[in-house]
Amino acid sequence: MSFSLHVILGSHNHLPLGASEEEFEDLYRKRLKPFVVALNSFPKIQAALHYSGVLLHWIEKAHPEFFMLIEDLISRKQVELLGGGFYEPLLPLLSQSDKIGQIEMFTTYIRKQFGKRPRGCWLPALAWEQNLAAVLDACGMGYTFLGEEQFIRAGLSGEARFVPCITEDQGKLVTIFPLSSSLAADAVRRGAYQALEGFHREIPAGTNRIIGLFPAGAEDIERFFEDLSRCEAFAEFTTPGKFFRSLPGLGRAYFPASAEAEPLPAGIQGTVLPRQSLIRYPEANGLYAKMVFTQVFANQLRGDRSRKRTAREELWKAQGADAFRYTANGGIYRGAVRSAAYRALLEAEKTAREKGVFIPSLTAFDFDLDGEDEYLFQDERINCYIKSRGGQVFEFDFLPRSWNYLDTMEPPGSPRTCRRAAFEDFLIAPGLSPEEMDADSCGQVRRCGEEWYEPFVVDKVRQKQRAGFRLPSRPGIPLGFAEIEKIYSLKKDSLQAGYRISNRGSGREDFSFIPRLALAFPGPEERFLRIFKLSSDARLPLEPGAERLDASRDISLADISGLEFRDLKNEAILTFSSKIVFSGSLRQVCFPLEGLGTVYGYTSIAPVYRLSLAPGESWETELSIKLSY
Residue boundaries of the structural domains of the chain: 5-244, 262-356, 389-628
Of 238, 243, 245, give the one whose Cα is nearest residue 47. Answer: 238
| Contact yes or no for 320/57 (Cβ under 8 A) | no
* In 232-310, beta strands by DSSP E: 235-237
Of 212, 210, 186, give the one whose Cα is nearest residue 198. Answer: 186
Query: Could you tell me the end-to-end alpha-carbon distance of the chain, in angstroms, rounded to an integer?
Result: 71
pLDDT of residue 1: 44
User: Strand pairing of 509-519 and 482-491?
Assistant: unpaired
- Amino acid in the structure at residue 435: E
B/e letters for 420-432, b = 16+ CB within 10 Å, e = fewer, are bbbbbbbbbbeeb
Of 370, 452, 424, give the one whose Cα is nearest residue 602. Answer: 424
- Amino acid in the structure at residue 368: D
Length of the chain measured in residues:
629
The secondary element (H helix, E strand) that includes residue 424 is strand 422-428
CATH 3.40.50.460, applies to 5-244: no
Give 517's strand partners: 422, 605
pLDDT of residue 462: 66
| Contact yes or no for 280/259 (Cβ under 8 A) | no
Give 557's strand partners: 584
d(CA 479, CA 524): 35
pLDDT of residue 266: 62
d(CA 593, CA 265): 7
* Fold of the 389-628 domain: Beta-galactosidase; Chain A, domain 5 (2.70.98)
10 Å CB burial of residue 105 (0-12, 13-18, 19+) is: middle
d(CA 71, CA 325): 33
* In 182-262, beta strands by DSSP E: 209-213, 235-237
d(CA 126, CA 259): 5
Give 611's strand partners: 511
Per-run averaged pLDDT (10 residues), the chain, 629 residues: 86 96 96 96 96 98 97 96 98 96 98 96 97 98 96 94 95 96 93 95 90 90 94 94 84 95 67 86 96 90 86 96 92 96 97 81 94 95 97 97 97 86 96 79 87 91 86 95 97 94 97 97 94 90 71 85 97 97 94 89 96 98 97
pLDDT of residue 595: 80
DSSP output for 34-67: HHHHHHHH-TT--EEEEE-HHHHHHHHHH-HHHH
pLDDT of residue 536: 82
pLDDT of residue 473: 97
| Contact yes or no for 342/407 (Cβ under 8 A) | yes
The dihedral region occupied by 561, where left means phi > 0, alpha psi between -120 and 50, and beta the remainder, is: alpha
d(CA 498, CA 579): 10
389-628: same fold as 5-244?
no
| Contact yes or no for 615/482 (Cβ under 8 A) | no
Contacts 24+ apart (CB under 8 A), 427-430: 427/478, 427/479, 427/482, 427/511, 427/512, 427/513, 427/514, 428/479, 428/511, 428/512, 428/514, 429/478, 429/479, 429/511, 429/512, 430/510, 430/511, 430/512
